[in-house]
Structure 1
Amino acid sequence: MFQWIEEARRGSAEAQESLVRHFTGMALAVAYDKLQDQHLAEDAVQEAFTEVFANLHKLQDPRRFPGWFKVIVERQCYRDLRRKQFQTLPLHEVELAAGDQRSLESVVEKREMIGQLHATIADLPPGMRIAVQLYYFQGYSLREISQYLDISLPALKKRLFDARLKLKNTLHVADFVSVFTDLYEGGRRMLHIVNGDSVGDKLKQGNIQGDILVWRELYSFGPVFTKMDVPDHRRTRAQYLEQTLGIPQKEYIGTCEAQERKLQDFQQYDEIVLWFEHDLFDQTMLSYLLHWFKEQSLGNTKLSLLCIGAYPGIELFRGLGQLSTEQLETLSGTWHTIGEQELMLGSMLWEAYTSDLPEKHQRMLEVDSSALPFARAAFAAHLARLPSVNNGLGIIEQTTLEAVAGGIHKPHELFRKVGDQLHTLGMGDLEFWYYLAKLTEGPDSLLVIDGTALFPDFKLAVPHFQDRVLQVTSLGREVLAGKSDYAPYTGTTDKWVGGLLVRGKAPSWRWNPERKSIVRMGESD
């Protein structure tokens, strides 16, 4: 866009045409909102463009063009309002195509719904009304609209969110976007890929249009590989998950193959929407899928992303699973188009995360990740799981010991406490029980637990496990105080941190929490 502006200043007709094509829809939405007449709006926009090109040399900062142009359009509308009287016309009329075989009843019903839709939109406050028109009817991106209206992206998202709530209450339908899509796009075939069964079930209960694919994976735990569908890689991962979490190998492999078959058929859909959130559990899934789609020929399939880290009214947002069906429906349509930048970044993050080279993991924190705004914090939390240079504890073990030392002794209460504190990891209960069990194992354990030494896993339910009591050992207190290093006491236990295999008593690499960096043991801290 900036190049068009510079060339238009120099009189390039081609650049001027590009600006007209790009901004006409925005200008018409604003002009119609002021004039309520399509023909007058078109005239006002044409006159506004004439004024723009006559005064483009006065615009010092090309980045201000969208807001500057909007002011000119509004000023032209006010001129027209002062000198013209006009008759209000409806925003949209449905025209019957030649040869349309639909029944008169269905046509009348559709016209009534469209009339009701536009009447309710017209009753929205001006800021909401224009945002809805630009986003849904004109198809501009959130970033383009925020620049044009000169408001921040969070403020724009809030306007759309509030508008959808008002429309839902007025239209008496479950989902405004589903109504809009059915009326204007003929019921596009959509596939929603979501991060868990809870979210998938709620979307199915609601009125979100399209098929639902629950992506069942735990890339934040165990060995991961750039090419996850290689048979040897899958078997290695399946064996590890069964040994550590109790997930049967056959069940895991069958689930992976089934969801990948569904993914392979993606071109039957007009649009695929990825529903994810801010934590490592989701960001690894998102990165994997972006990496996978980057390798595909998308054809006419559009990729969209809904990724949030907060929700109005929820103080500590842990994830989409917290939301009710109604709350999830308010998010429908607030996704944005995935472009080349997101695909490239997601692919790079996945390749780095699955690498066995620590420097590639460190690189994830150094690149510009603004296209995926939650990635940096999530992958920083990933690296904090490495043994610390301070005492050999990863962030999960450190936080768990601190919580028990602070007076939380029951397993389920401990899981909630640690999960809330480390919510950026998105850690599930099976994963936490594994870490907790490791802290209680062996003669040099950092924790002790009364009663049976068994911990729950995918197959095993341990009676009265919630009543067990945990205590910090003397070694645990020494490690917490920084007087002892935990690594020499871990025996031969290895653990995976993404693609990095951290080996037993003498890990080659550690995490420096102060420098937020990986260091090789022996380097100066």
Structure 2
Amino acid sequence: MAAVTEKLTREAAGLAAAATGTGPVVIWMEHDPYDQLILARCLAAFAAAGRMDGLQLILRDGFPGRARFIGLGQLPPPALRLLWADRRPVTPAILGLGQAVWAALRRPDPRDLAAIAAGGTPALPQMAPALRRYLAELPGLADGLSLTERLTLEMIAETPAAPPTAGRLFGRLMRETDPLPWLGDAMYLAILHQLAQARDPAIRLVGAADGDPYRAIVALTDAGRAVLAGRRDALSLAPPTRQIGGVQIDPAARHWRWDRDAEWIVETGPAIG
């Protein structure tokens, strides 16, 4: 924990120095929720410091020859040099959008964030779809599952006779099933552990002999199959309370859900007594 705190403190100091400095700053970002929310944080810091001169942005959501563009790490050095020539100035509208997103992200009520996503973000067209994907990590209105949880249970159910490993699930999520991949592997492992730690868990994790968490077998339980079939709500399984930005999801209290069809926020009562 001390190492994590030290890293975050160092990063915050670096951002503050950039926001109050005078030299040129070029921000490289990807189009997924992880990067777009970091971008909002950076833009809010620059706006608060009154900094705009010398700010430039490189942001792409695709690249020729990449049918499924996940991020900059896919690109060779010549492609990155091409992107360097594609950088553009950060405008007041971009700064204002970053401020609005960062403020909405930290609120316990996610409706402001949903409103930004629904209204479109012409200053940064990649922001709105990233926000919708992020909001899909709230419990689904119909099943109580986040989109990542839903995709995970469906992938496991596809091979009932040979349950996959955590690493294989993460690979498929990134390469195939997630409409806008954004999770790191450690973030995904945390989601698996949340599913497994419910009072009536949806999955069972069987650790690998060598202790490698990515080689752990992930199997559906009867409760998980019932959730997939629509016979149970995932939050009725009593998973641990979790935090999504400023929003707390407590199955035993009123909480917010995401209607995937309407792409909007709904407040519902407790899922468990």
CA distance in 2, matches of 1:285, 1:441: 29
Q: Confirm or deny: 8 A CA contact 2:164 2:218 kept in the other structure.
A: yes
- Answer with 1 or 2: which has the greater Rg: 1
Identify the residue that residue 511 of structure 1 maps to in structure 2. Answer: 258
Q: Confirm or deny: 8 A CA contact 2:151 2:173 kept in the other structure.
A: yes
For the pair 1:502 / 2:254, whether they are aligned, the reply is: no
Change (3 A) 1:263 1:477: closer
For the pair 1:409 / 2:164, whether they are aligned, the reply is: yes
Question: Shift of the alpha carbon at 1:425?
Answer: 4.5
Question: Shift of the alpha carbon at 1:330?
Answer: 2.0
CA distance in 2, matches of 1:449, 1:265: 44
Identify the residue that residue 30 of structure 2 maps to in structure 1. Answer: 277
For the pair 1:490 / 2:245, whether they are aligned, the reply is: no
Question: Alignment RMSD, CA only?
Answer: 2.1
For the pair 1:311 / 2:63, whether they are aligned, the reply is: yes
In the TM superposition, what whole-angstrom CA distance separates every residue of 1:396-454 from its partner, at most 9, and x where no partner exists? 111100010012612111001122322525100001001111222355111123346x9
Identify the residue that residue 148 of structure 2 maps to in structure 1. Answer: 396
1:437-452 residue pairs with structure 2 within 5 A? Answer: 437-442=193-198, 444-451=200-207
Identify the residue that residue 211 of structure 2 maps to in structure 1. Answer: 463
Change (3 A) 1:466 1:265: closer
Where is the helix percentage greater, Structure 1 or Structure 2?
A: 1
Identify the residue that residue 347 of structure 1 maps to in structure 2. Answer: 99
Question: Shift of the alpha carbon at 1:508?
Answer: 2.1
Which region of structure 1 is more displaced relative to structure 2, 501-510 or 400-409? 501-510
In the TM superposition, what whole-angstrom CA distance separates every residue of 1:276-305 from its partner, at most 9, and x where no partner exists? 011000000000111111111337x31111
What TM-score does the superposition give when structure 1 sets the normalisation length? 0.48
For the pair 1:477 / 2:225, whether they are aligned, the reply is: yes
AA at the equivalent of 1:479: V
Q: Confirm or deny: 8 A CA contact 1:384 1:395 kept in the other structure.
A: yes
What TM-score does the superposition give when structure 2 sets the normalisation length? 0.89
CA distance in 1, matches of 2:219, 2:88: 48
SS in 2 for 1:364: helix
Question: Shift of the alpha carbon at 1:368?
Answer: 3.7
Gap runs ≥5 in structure 2: none
Q: Confirm or deny: 8 A CA contact 2:70 2:181 kept in the other structure.
A: no
Q: Which runs of 4+ in 1 moved over 4 A?
A: none
Change (3 A) 1:329 1:441: same
- Residue 360 (structure 1) aligned to one of 112, 124, 130: 112
CA distance in 2, matches of 1:402, 1:466: 19
CA distance in 2, matches of 1:484, 1:358: 25
Identify the residue that residue 61 of structure 1 maps to in structure 2. Answer: none
CA distance in 1, matches of 2:199, 2:95: 48
SS in 2 for 1:371: coil
AA at the equivalent of 2:261: E
Identify the residue that residue 372 of structure 1 maps to in structure 2. Answer: 124
In the TM superposition, what whole-angstrom CA distance separates every residue of 1:338-382 from its partner, at most 9, and x where no partner exists? 111101111101111111123212222233411111111111111
Aligned length: 264
Q: Confirm or deny: 8 A CA contact 2:257 2:265 kept in the other structure.
A: yes
CA distance in 2, matches of 1:332, 1:362: 32
AA at the equivalent of 1:285: I
Q: Confirm or deny: 8 A CA contact 1:487 1:506 kept in the other structure.
A: no
SS in 2 for 1:365: helix
Which region of structure 1 is more displaced relative to structure 2, 407-416 or 425-434? 407-416
- Fraction of identical pairs, as percent: 26
SS in 2 for 1:306: strand
Identify the residue that residue 90 of structure 2 maps to in structure 1. Answer: 338
Q: Confirm or deny: 8 A CA contact 1:281 1:425 kept in the other structure.
A: no
